[in-house]
Chains A and B, each alone.
Chain A
Amino acid sequence: MKVFAPFRALAALTLLALASASFAAPAAEAPIDFNREIRPILSDNCFSCHGFDAKKRKADLRLDTPEGAYAVKDGVAAIQPGDPKASALLQRALSKDPDEVMPPPDSHKKLTPAQIETLRRWIAQGAPYRKHWSFEPPVKAAVPAFPNLSPIDAFLRAELSRHGLHPASEARKESLLRRVTLDLTGLPPTPAEVDAFVADTSPEAYGRVVDRLLESVRFGEHMARYWLDAARYADTHGLHLDNERSMWPYRDWVVRAFNQNLPFDQFTLWQLAGDLLPNPTQDQRIASGFNRCNVTTSEGGSISNELLFRYAVDRTETTFGVWMGLTAGCAVCHDHKFDPITTKDFYSVYSFFYSAADPAMDGNTALTPPVLQLSTPEQEAQLKSMDQAIAAQKKLLSEGLSKLVYNDPATLTPPPPVEKGEAVWFEDAFPENAKVEYSGAPTTWITAEQGPVHSGQRALRRKAEGLAQDFFTHGAALEVPANGQISVWCHLDPSDLPKAVMLQFHVGNWNHRAVWGDEKSIPLGSTGKPDKVVLGPLPAAGKWVELKFPADRVGLKPGMKVDGFAFTQYDGTVVWDSLVMRHQFDPAKDPGWSWAAWIKKKQGSLVKELPGALQTLLRNKKAEQWTEAETKKLKDWWLENEYAGAGESVLLPKAEKIRLEAQRAALADSIPKTLVMADLPQPRQAYVMQRGQYDKPGEEVSRRTPEVFPPLPAKENYNRVDLAQWLLSPENPLTSRVIVNRFWQQFFGTGLVKSVNDFGAQGDSPSHPELLDWLAVTFREQGWDIKQLVRSMVTSAAYRQSAAVTPEPLAKDPENRLLARGPRFRLDAEVIRDSALFISGLLSPKVGGVGVRPYQPDNIWEPVGFSGSNTARYTRGTKEALYRRSLYTFWKRTAPPPAMTTFDAPSRESSCLRRERSNTPLQALVLLNDIQHVEAARHFAQRILREGGRSDAERITFAWRCAVGRTPAAPEAATVLEALEKHRSRFQTTPADASQLITFGESKPAADIPAPELAAWTLTANLLLNLDEALNP
């Protein structure tokens, strides 16, 4: 093994070669900046064996500290400050001997001559070490003296001058307005806004525009989108079944926070520790959902400890990444090789999250606890009054029970007679006084002349597309008898079959549904519970079929008052007739009347309705062995819950209680809830997990921050509040730098530190260190004011420059890091879609709410979906849902919307701080052929024809201005006109094609525009929305 050992006998020849080759540089030279010039070389080539990670360290040599590098062993030092010749490091770097040379050949790393020369100069200058730049607190440097320049521009200008470059001129006003409007709101400006800005020649014109945009509600939506990438926000759990989760109130809070300009320190504190603040507000608790956005699973067979470990690791890594720009993930398994983060440091931060109260298995439910119910004050009051009403009924019930005298009919001689009866609930009419309603076409009655009637004078017939129903609520109350059997007659048209038919009852809510046929076509209730019971296949068609079932199956209990029922169908033509409630029972043998009969029937079986202890008793212990107290408890439960002969004083309050409870549940269900963070009452002890294995706990750790940084203030017990405050403290060298850098990336395309997610030794050095620090300190000093920070960036001269590429800066600075021209980069996925909708006039302005399901091709979810998942099938929304901002699109992690991912949106499985910007043929296919873009183009065409003037020329100018914000040059307009004319003559000769094109999409085309004309303009509009300039402002 080749190691960097103190060197043996180095050939004199080599030394000679060294001396002549590279040690002859002049003495007077610019001082080397360790962090910028030396650390990256050492980090890339040396630290993996001679760095911070003690376990992997070779030859007991470390080069990441001066002590290690200067140490003399066997008379030799790796670095002898001031004396390159005596420094083994340099000799080994220059060696030609494969056993000597460093880095060793099998590392596949090699130092360039230029790097070796830099190392030599640095050693000659005394080999000074400095802490990695980003671990030293930022210091506000003096702003370079450039009169009339903002501090940002002054720093940039100084650097440009050093490279002999000059800033570009200001962008055209139209381009500038488009750039800033897209960057601040994610939407383009309207032609009217362009006109107003161009007309406003005052020096404040631009500042006023920026102020207007910062106040727009679109600002918060657009800013939120970036943050949600970092927060790994999505609407599903992300693993295995990937079921839906209710997280959207958190997303809406992020929008709100940006719009209200919540200072970034509060923004941070609430998200990391909102739940732990004194008397937290609703928003503070919602914000704590940041730490509930991680992926979770409920896969059978998973090991809880592993999952709890993983969730805490994810939260730790995300926190390190989002606020400190550090890639702490390495330290899960071993001491970080390049940055001074030990595994112990990692697990000490991890222990802040390891006591989170959410379970290992998410239960595949939308509301994995802990959750927060977001009720309004009115809803709060309603719930309270319902609780009171329920309590009152409970009281009546217990009074009734206390007076109840029970004699088991099984013990009577002679036994009581068998009872039977029937009540007609529906025949020729809904119950008297009922308020009859419908959805779909109006309610239709038919007589025997008009169609099948089973009994009486008439029957109810409905022809439906999709879900439709006839129903009533209120005005009648039908009592449910003991042992009730429901019977209804149904006649299906064999030539027009429904997918399913359903009978539905209302007692407090509608959660009593009996379904025949394809239950999937009924998107209500959860299958298997009384709120949706599938009783069989679709009845035979072409004849009258009686559908019978026990009332109990759909949760209708004796004494309940039914105050509504509905005849429902999906598609097809269905006739309903005669709904009857019958009952019959033999009190001596019926488990609803005889306690002895009930015991006999239920003994040994699992009765889910029973409370836990009684459930076990009934199941596992023979009745003969019950104690008196046990028998009494169970019998009391039976009398209260099962006994059908208890009389009005028990049955009425019981039924009323059930009705009220159902009503309360319906209200509670309608109130949004969101996953929030909370800690367990007793913290879990965290350990260093050896080699990152969940089942290998090592040393115990307690909550603290990494040792390389200033410590937490001394205190007894730390929690996430302390962690958040530590991130925000002036001593923390990273947070403010990391945040301003990401905003910079947002507006300039690339961060001042390009590796926005890595401020460690392996990350990129800042292009403008003084500017970064100046921004970081200023941001903190000015109260973490986000809008002010954003304003300072977008009003800089650098931001306002023209983006045109000129040869000299392109050669010197191909990536435009020095900003000798304005920023120009492809719009993000959401902005591209939203802009197309906005320009076409289709975009809905609605803010917030549960995720919507716009157009998506078939078979995106289905092929990947687990058959039992509630997101296995995609059901597209309609109307407004198709045209909401992309921020509100329902995000399924295992199959995110293809129109988004094609444009580099991340899957949201883990935190993402920088998106790719690819350029692929699949993107072209989306913009050319995706139904939502074609429909948008058609609506844009309608706008052009209605608002764009009368001539083709006027209209082309209008369209061009809408699409890219400026007036077209003459050759551009001519090219568009040529295409338009070709399309026009083509569609005039084949109008059928035109009709097809303009009816693509849910919305109807304008009736007053001839199809060929609209089609020709649709393709022209599509052309404009595909311009490179439309995608790259």
Chain B
Amino acid sequence: MDPLLEHQLLLNRRQFFGNAGLRVGGVALAGLLARDASAKAGGNVHPGLPEFPHLPQKAKRLIYLHMNGAPSQLDLWDYKPQLKQHFDKDLPDSIRNGQRITTMTAGQARFPVAPSLFQFAQHGQCGRWVSELLPYTSQVVDELAVLKSVSTTAINHDPACTFVMTGSEIPGKPSIGSWISYGLGSLNDDLPSFVVLTPRSAGGQALFTRMWSSGFLPSKHTGVALRSAGDPVLFIQNPPGVTNSDRRVMLDALAKLNAAQHQDLADPEILTRTAQYEMAFRMQSSVPELVDLSHESKATLDLYGKDATDPGTFAHSALLARRLIERGVRAVQILHRGWDQHNNLPKDIARQCEQTDQACAALILDLKMRGLLEDTLVVWGGEFGRTVYSQGTLSQTNYGRDHHPRCFTMWMAGAGVKPGISYGETDDFSYNVTQDPVHLSELNATILHLMGVDHKRFTFKFQGLDQRLTGVEERRVIHEILA
């Protein structure tokens, strides 16, 4: 912003706050001034709730990498070498145990076991088994806590995606980013506190705005989806022919006129509105600055790979995630589509990994180099897992896998997470959890815990209930994975 204009604006603000003081009731004014003062101190246009954080806060920020469609745990993380012997044999009934399967494979005459076609090798100090599909992520396994025993309740994408992001299968609940924004507030004045990125991929399942909606929470906590084509934030650009100084003229007049209205009516919402117009004006500068990568070093760009500067790619989104975090955005969610491999899994999952693997690893390394990994939590995973048996025809070189909610793999890294560990075990068919189960709601409880929030106390009254991200069931924090 032009420094002269900024000064003038400050004067304007003081003027009308000063005048307002003569008329507004003491309490309201005190609140306003307090808000204004803390805003100047940095990062409190949207403060958090009182008493937050409840607990020591390990993670100040969250980056959630959602692999939409459900990546196959069997081909990436959950190494089952003995499956080779079961190729094309029927899944034992003792394993399936009569559990429901989707109607896409329920009619199949057989459930032939499809061992992964991909080679696994041990990596890092921790000796983690990782698939050859993840050559880059396997280099950072010492930073990751790999959870192999995650489960969810839904078996189809729509309800499962809604669950993984909101803790409920029923549409209308706030997403995890909205909860965090609501509870902990914003860390900056120039960008929204919860930002969503939806990089493109080859087709895939639909995403729903409900996956980043604030549900019943105040709508300012809805994730702002940065767009990969056109303006990154909706309506961020002035109309053609209009410059920022035209806007300044207009906004100064608007502030003056609104102040007069406030003198008349003394409604504090009027001042909030003016403040939001000013925030919008600042975003018009901060958002273009955010997406301008010209000051990123070549080394950094190389780290993220060849797509790093191509808007709409996963690599570009990952880099933006780091830039958002750096600028004080509280929660960033990247939703990458195309992981639903019902058939042609070997070919398609390789493509998905190519698009994401390098950038996931780069994000961890980049955050670490900048000291941001200390107080940033990174979470990776899909909405459920995939079946060990093949959907459709199984051959030596090809197979597909159906939805499998009973176990799948996710990983976490960063603030407060024990690095280089693996948690939970599954049976020989990666079908059932045999040790240390982690329900998605427990994962959410753990995320909140790391962010200094007691999930049991984090409630919002709606429809007569104290609603929680973690639902009404008893859910525990997975303390075993905490550093």
Contact = CB atoms under 8 A, between A and B. Distances in A.
B3 interface: no
Nearest to A902: B234
Top 8 closest pairs, chain A to chain B, by CB: A996-B241, A301-B102, A762-B464, A997-B241, A924-B280, A993-B241, A921-B280, A327-B463
B48 interface: no
B25 A1023 contact: no
Given A763-B464, A864-B206, A983 B249 contact: yes
A919 B250 contact: no
Interface string A294-306: 0101011111100
B478 interface: no
Contacts of B198: 863-864
Contact of B208 (A894, A902, A920, A976): A894
A295 B102 CA distance: 20
Contacts of A993: 241-243
Contact of B25 (A807, A826, A992, A1000): A807
Interface in B212-241: 213, 218-220, 222, 224-225, 227-231, 233-241
Contacts of A928: 235, 238, 247, 280
A922 B280 contact: yes
Nearest to A895: B209
A242 B280 CA distance: 32
Interface residues of A, number: 101
Given A858-B229, A907-B210, A983-B246, A1032 B267 contact: yes
A1015 to B, nearest CB: 7
Contact of B258 (A910, A931, A1028): A1028
Contact of A805 (B27, B242, B250, B267): B267
A1027 B257 contact: yes
Given A762-B465, A907-B171, A1019-B250, A975 B257 contact: yes
Nearest to B236: A925
A898 B234 contact: yes
Most chain A beta-carbon contacts within 10 A, residue among B198, B219, B254, B256: B219
A979 interface: yes
Interface in A167-200: none
B457 A108 contact: yes
Interface residues of B, number: 87
A921 B25 CA distance: 26
A264 B400 CA distance: 55
Contacts of A907: 171-172, 209-210, 213
A596 to B, nearest CB: 37
B158 A1000 contact: no
Interface stretch (B268-276, B345-353, B358-366): B268-276
B265 interface: yes
A978 B25 contact: no
A810 B266 contact: yes
A1022 interface: yes
A896 B210 CA distance: 10
12 contacts: A239-B158, A295-B171, A301-B402, A327-B463, A760-B464, A824-B265, A922-B233, A925-B235, A926-B235, A972-B257, A1023-B257, A1032-B267
A929 interface: yes
B58 interface: no
A467 interface: no
B80 interface: no
B276 A921 contact: yes
A902 B25 CA distance: 31
A399 interface: no
Interface in A974-1033: 975-976, 978-979, 982-983, 986, 992-1000, 1015, 1019, 1022-1023, 1026-1029, 1031-1032
Contacts of B236: 925, 929
A997 B254 contact: no
A922 B221 CA distance: 12
A301 B258 contact: no
Interface stretch (A434-442, A562-570, A708-716, A865-873): A865-873
B200 A1019 contact: no
Contacts of A923: 276
Given A907-B210, A919-B273, A986-B249, 14 more contacts: A240-B206, A295-B171, A327-B463, A804-B265, A810-B24, A895-B209, A909-B210, A922-B280, A924-B277, A925-B234, A976-B253, A976-B257, A1000-B239, A1028-B257
Given A695-B100, A925-B235, A297 B241 contact: no
Interface in A917-968: 918-926, 928-931, 934
B242 A921 contact: no
Given A303-B100, A865-B206, A895-B209, A925 B233 contact: yes
B370 interface: no
Contacts of A239: 158
Given A327-B463, A925-B236, A241 B206 contact: yes
B220 A920 contact: yes
B210 A894 contact: yes
